[in-house]
Amino acid sequence: MERCLARDERAYRELVRRYQGAVMNLAWKITGSADDAAEVAQETFIRVLRSLGTYDPSRPFRTWLFKITSNLALDAIRRRKRRPIALEDLADEEGPAIDPADTGPAPDEGYRIQQSDARFESLVRELPEHYQAILFLRYQQELSYEEIAESMSMPLGTVKVRIHRAHEMLRRKLLARGNA
């Protein structure tokens, strides 16, 4: 980080290489879109380069980076919600773009785990945006409550309350679907 702060281009390339996977993963988990995630990741590293002067080296870099990524991903979700989608955009000339889901039994355990993760992500996506971001930071990026508080620029108590409320909302959704 010291070399990046000194504007060493090789150090910045190394920083991007080291963190691009984690940034893309977080952006994809929050936005649910590969295109949005790629755009958010690119913008994240542009912002990091432009904002290096505001980075406090006494703080964890990863937390600062995830804060930028989270904010940009939430902005992308908000922009997408304002953009209407025409039904014609969902299908191409050869047929519908969306295939029906296969609800048959899974052939192996790995597939069941993958499906379970997909169901969890689907449930999380039904929650308000601020709960989604906190849950993804907690369970996908495995950040501590303190790191989440710093990443999201909010008090630790707010993080704890939001995680508790998100858990309650998920529990109620599962109960309503007969899965609890």
CATH number, residue 39: 1.10.1740.10
Residues 65-80: tens digit of each pLDDT: 998 999 899 888 888 7
* The pLDDT of residue 83 is above 90: no
Residues 61 and 124 in one domain: no
Number of domains in the chain: 2
Collapsed DSSP state (helix, strand, coil) of residue 128: coil
* Residue 21 confidence (pLDDT): 92
Rg (CA), the chain: 19
- Phi and psi angles of residue 68, each rounded to the nearest 5 degrees, phi first: -60, -45
Q: Per the domain annotation, does 122 fall within a domain?
A: yes
- Same domain for 2 and 54, yes or no, is yes
Tell me, yes or no, whether 97 lies in a domain.
Answer: no
Flag whether 100 is in a domain.
Answer: no
Residue 55 located in a structural domain: yes
Q: Which residue has the higher pLDDT, 87 or 32?
A: 32
Burial call 43-64: b when 16+ CB within 10 Å, e when fewer: bbbeebeeeeeeeeeeeebebb
User: Is the domain of 77 the same as that of 15?
Assistant: yes
CATH of the domain at 118: 1.10.10.10
pLDDT score at 98: 47
Same structural domain, 117 and 75: no
The verdict on residue 147 lying in a domain is yes
Evaluate whether residue 88 is within a structural domain: no
Q: What is the predicted pLDDT for the residue at 5?
A: 76
Give per-residue pLDDT as tens, 91-112. 444 544 444 444 444 455 555 5
Pair 114, 169 in one domain: yes
Which has more pLDDT, 82 or 128?
128
- Looking at per-residue pLDDT, the higher value among 94 and 60 belongs to 60
Q: For residues 40 and 23, give the distance between their C-alpha atoms in angstroms, rounded to a whole number.
A: 8
- What is the average pLDDT score of the chain? 79
* Domain range for 171: 109-180
pLDDT at position 166 over 70: yes
Q: Is the pLDDT of residue 167 over 50?
A: yes
Report the DSSP pairing between strands 95-96 and 91-92.
antiparallel
